[in-house]
Amino acid sequence: MGEHPRKADGRRVFSTEFKRATVQRILNGEKTLAELSRVLDISPGLIRSWKRFAESGATAAVQANEDVVPASQLREAYATLRELERALAASPADLRGRILTRGPAVGAKGGKRGEADL
């Protein structure tokens, strides 16, 4: 078994790939949960919870008929949404100030900005 990084309290941290591979070994019938637990020196309950999470995640995606996105990507989307909501709630004077500081997207004569305008 390879060495896994440890938290400050000494617990091992397993990568997502390692967890998936471990669960897949059980699902393929390569080893039983008890055998794998002994070989990897990991609690059977922990491996069982990885298996349960993997199965429920796959089931949830199929039932919803949607793609599953990582939680980090969802947090980023919520942060962007909050930022846009704040911008919409800003007063018209605040918005006018923001637009003027960024400059017009179109030149003064109505044409597109050329290299000289930048």
The mean per-residue pLDDT over the stretch 91-115 comes to: 60
The mean per-residue pLDDT over the stretch 8-18 comes to: 88
**22 exposure class (CB count in 10 Å sphere: 0-12, 13-18, 19+):** buried
How confident is the model at residue 79, as a pLDDT? 93
* pTM exceeds 0.85 for this model: no
DSSP 3-state of 62? helix
Measured distance CA(91)–CA(32) in Å, rounded: 63
Asked if residue 95 has pLDDT above 70, the reply is no
- pLDDT, tens digit, 9 for 90 and up, residues 40-74: 999 999 999 889 888 877 656 555 556 667 788 88
